Copies of this chain bind each other. A is one copy, B any other.
Amino acid sequence: MGKYLAITGGVGGAKLALGLAKILSPEEVLFVVNTGDDFEHLGLTICPDIDTLTYTLADLNNTELGWGRRGETWSCLDTLGELGGENWFRLGDRDLALHLHRTQRLKQGATLSDATREITQYLGIQHTIVPMCDQPVRTIVHAESGPLAFQHYFVRDRCAPRVTGFHFEGVEKATLPLALTGWLKTCTGVLICPSNPFVSVDTVLAVPGMRQALDRLPVVAVSPIVGGIAIKGPTAKMMEELKVPATAAQVAAHYGDLLDGFVLDNQDAALHNTLPVQTVVTQTVMQSLQDRIDLARTSIHFLDQLTAR
């Protein structure tokens, strides 16, 4: 039996994570999640990627919106607008409960790992979701107009500013949570989900100790770029602004030495055997649950093959 670590950001990565959770037991896979998108808003600590994964694994995610919680209501946000409050970040009433509760637990001295474990257990999730660290790390997007907190870039400004780089504020003081370092000791392979390399995966890789831990393990990434476009989010736009071609090959090049294998979509089959790492070609665009399960199975099988070699 393999024991896997899956690195994920929000919506894109969570799709594959759900597939992994369907085929692997909680003893076989652990999810480590980007927290660079986290932010303080209205006095609440909001962790968009942890929450997206939580809602997805709890089968509570809002498939109509593509983010947030199913069966959501918006009374609080509507009222906040009427009061002249900040309402650019779309907080649903049910979602808000999670932020209020987590913020309260953090104030009471719980770590983010503790709070995440408690919340996921309450929602009936069997698998373990671990933040990349318990210390606050905040992604700063350097844009031509100046530096922006990630959610200001992503939500408030709708990714409009042209980016020139990224900075993960506080990451040098961050440490890997105990649940993660424990898991890494016996882990047999790492899967990087199809998340944004710059602002979802690089953040996780930047936590001191992470890169070194991964260096001695087989690592497979699933390309978040398919046929030159990002399946979800601003990855392709960012690549263009950073003056690199928005291609799957460039994503593989970005991960560099870290990678042992790369999963390409059928649309990028022409890249097969052209990259400096082993590749597998399959359908990476996940629409149905079966798509998620199939991609999870193919990726884990590929990782097992690399491990065996």
Contacts and interface: CB of A to CB of B under 8 A. Distances in A.
Interface of A: 42-44, 72-73, 75-80, 82-86, 92-94, 96-98, 100-101, 103-104, 107, 118-119, 122-123
Which of A44, A82, A83, A107 has its CB near the most chain B CB atoms (within 10 A)? A83
A83 to B, nearest CB: 5
Given A43-B43, A79-B93, A79-B94, A101 B72 contact: no
Contacts of A83: 97-98, 101, 119, 122-123
Residues of A contacting B: mostly = helix
5 contacts: A73-B73, A76-B100, A83-B101, A84-B101, A93-B93
Contact of A85 (B44, B86, B104): B104
A85 B97 contact: yes
A98 B77 CA distance: 10
Contacts of A73: 73, 75, 93
A42 B85 contact: no
Which of A76, A82, A101, A107 has its CB near the most chain B CB atoms (within 10 A)? A76
Contacts of A93: 73, 75-76, 79, 93, 96
A93 B93 CA distance: 6
